[in-house]
Amino acid sequence: MRSFYSVALGLLGASAVASAADVESDVVQLTADTFSDFVKEHDLVLAEFFAPWCGHCKALAPEYETAAQELKEKNIPLVKVDCTEEADLCKEHGVEGYPTLKIFRGPDSVKPYPGARKSGALVSYMTKQSLPAVSDVSEENIEEFKSLDKVVIVGYLASDNKKAKDAFNTLAESERDNFLFGASDDAAVAKAEGVEQPSIVLYKDFDEKKAVYTGDLDSDSILAWVKTASTPLVGELGPETYASYIKAGIPLAYIFAETPEEITKFAEDFRPIAEKQRGKINFATLDAKAFGAHASNLNLDPSIFPAFAIQDPEKNHKFPWDQSKDFSIEDIGKFVQDVVDGKVEPSIKSEPIPETQEGPVTVIVAHTYQELVIDNDKDVLLEFYAPWCGHCKALAPKYEQLAKVYAENPEFASKVTVAKIDATANDVPDAIQGFPTIKLFPAGSKDEPVEYSGSRSIEDLAEFIKTKGKHQVDAVEEFTKPQEEEASSSSSSAAPTQTESATGEASGEAARDHDEL
């Protein structure tokens, strides 16, 4: 299963491109015989574990090659391993999907690469990894350092200001994957940059180019400012930027535009609104022709553009602008302020409430979610599914069997509900990363649901309800007993197959085998 952010980028329509040729490549191909020695000989290595037939690997290839060319000058090698030829090496490094990117600092220090699969993101991230958490900045290297990345943060702090330096260093250590940090204790350097000690300056290649912080010198306060100052007033939403906006911790305003000219115009028109709401809402334009399908996820009609909506990813609240109204910047500005002031109710997409519940699996819709999942004293097992999901369709008959045992036993039914919700047709409180996702909402602890990650056999699901539910309802024997009787009454060699068939699937199939959103 790919992460939520990779899945969301798929929704935004990132397209595959052809693989780069290996001729005169700056990407070093390694084997089991060469990998270990190469990693030992270099302080920092980015490795791609790939398969030649993998479409995502082919899409990455030209980006990876471009990044390798740029990083070669910084002595940061990019390597690749063909897992169809080096299966044992890939297994040794825990490769479960393609492509897998990992960062090596010698053979014993390994971590996954978390960034976007674009050359700019690869270069930026690996450059940060090559430098100390805080680099020394001087009169001689200040200009070069400021140009190393799109956003660079420099602390101008006196050598005897221990409290400020400790806070800055703590922040730099925690955020070194996201930003470049430098520091100078030379008052003359600070003066040349137009600031006085203590100050923190964020240099950027957009908007006002430079922002100065002079607030409380604690790491949390500085970080809050950095997140705001490093975000464009009106940015551009796409595969490389989507994840950072979603993780920003504040709502995001989507501006759907159909042409490059319209994108440029709206970016300028919305600047005053974005300036007013800075730190409260981020604003970004979105190419409606390329990514217009994403409008439906915001409860907008994807056939009507331009369009506008605000999304709060943390609460999963959506505030779409009424598309029957004129696309008036002035009116939308008032709408944005009303959202900030809490005067606008979130839009909730919901299927109609079922008049009757047919079948043992309780059907949940957005308008019944609170009542049937949260506001009751039952343990609720809830499957988040999509109608088109192949894994969901495979699970359906077994899930019906599971629900039937609880629904037809009065004692069980009073304590357990087995339910499902179409997460494509109903807004749900939490972001769902793949289908099916199964969660148990224990009675008395509904705000702490437990996500299921075991095999999709009926017995294992029943055991999950028993061990994780408050009521500890034990229905496991209801599923195992008939199978045991069948096996014991049959002397044929087919008995194990019949038992496996009764469970629905081999227990080795894990719930991580999701279909994408």
pLDDT in tens, 397-448: 999 999 999 999 999 999 999 999 999 899 888 777 788 999 999 999 999 9
Classify domain 362-478 at the CATH superfamily level: Glutaredoxin (3.40.30.10)
Dist. CA 318–CA 299, nearest whole Å: 7
Catalytic residue among 189, 389, 458, 461: 389
3-state secondary structure of 203: strand
pLDDT at residue 508, as a whole number: 30
Q: How far is CA 385 from the centre of its chain?
A: 19
Are 28-119 and 362-478 in the same CATH fold? yes
Mean pLDDT of 256-265: 95
First to last CA, the chain: 10
Fold of 131-230: Glutaredoxin (3.40.30)
Please return the burial class of 410, using the count of CB atoms within 10 Å of its CB with bins 0-12, 13-18 and 19+.
Answer: exposed
User: What integer pLDDT is reported at residue 511 of this predicted model?
Assistant: 35
Residue 308 has pLDDT above 60, yes or no: yes
Q: Cα dihedral angle (483, 485, 486, 488), rounded to 10 degrees? A: 120
Q: Quote the distance between the C-alpha of residue 292 and its chain's center.
A: 20
Q: Residue 35: what pLDDT?
A: 95
**CA nearest 163: which of 202, 212, 216?**
216
184 phi and psi angles, rounded to 5 deg: -140, 135
Sequence-ordered list of residues with C-beta below 8 angstroms from that of 492, at least 6 positions apart, any chain? none
Joined together, the tokens standing for residue 474 give 């034990």
Q: Which residues contact 404 (CB under 8 A, 6 or more apart)?
A: 360
- Distance CA(467)–CA(457), nearest Å, equals 16
Within 93-204, strands assigned E span 100-104, 110-112, 135-136, 151-156, 180-184, 199-204
* CA max distance for the chain: 91
CA nearest to 398, candidates 480, 469, 461: 461
Whether the per-residue pLDDT at 310 is higher than 80: the answer is yes
Q: How far is CA 178 from CA 82, 124, 171, 209, 502, in A?
A: 29, 9, 11, 18, 50
CB within 8 Å of 97: residues ≥ 6 apart: 2
- Write down the catalytic residue from 8, 229, 255, 392: 392
- pLDDT reported for residue 76: 94
Who contacts 242 (Cβ-Cβ below 8 Å, separation ≥6)? Answer: 5, 8, 9, 12
Q: Which of 20, 54, 348, 443 is catalytic?
A: 54
pLDDT band at 480 (very low <50, low <70, confident <90, very high): low
- pLDDT bin (cut points 50, 70, 90) of residue 23 is low
Contacts 24+ apart (CB under 8 A), 244-250: 245/282, 245/284, 246/5, 246/8, 246/313, 247/5, 248/282, 249/314, 250/279, 250/280, 250/281, 250/282
Spatial separation of the C-alpha atoms in residues 178 and 124, rounded to whole Å: 9
Per the annotation, the verdict on 83 as an active-site residue is: no
Does residue 462 contact residue 402 with C-beta atoms inside 8 Å? yes
How confident is residue 357, by pLDDT bands cut at 50, 70 and 90? very high
Q: Was domain 234-341 assigned CATH 3.90.180.10? A: no
At 254, phi and psi to the nearest 5? -100, 130
pLDDT in tens, 97-145: 899 999 998 888 899 998 888 898 899 889 888 888 899 999 999 999 9
- Cα separation, 64 vs 71, in Å, equals 10
Cβ–Cβ < 8 Å for 151, 203: yes
Q: Please write the tens of the pLDDT for every residue from 42-82.
A: 999 999 999 999 989 999 999 999 999 999 988 999 999 99
The answer to whether 57 is a known catalytic residue is yes
11, 129, 302 from 258: Cα distances, Å? 17, 38, 12
- Mean pLDDT on 371-392: 94
- pLDDT of residue 12 exceeding 80, the answer is no
Residue found under tokens 């999304």: 311
Which CATH superfamily includes the segment(s) 28-119?
Answer: Glutaredoxin (3.40.30.10)
C-alpha span between 394 and 456 (Å, rounded) = 10
Spot the catalytic one: 47, 57, 95, 421: 57
Q: Do 222 and 171 touch, CB atoms closer than 8 A?
A: yes
**Average pLDDT, integer, range 459-473:** 94
Domain ranges (residues) in the chain: 28-119, 131-230, 234-341, 362-478
Q: Which of 386, 398, 449, 376 is nearest to 423 (CA)?
A: 386
State the pLDDT at residue 503.
23
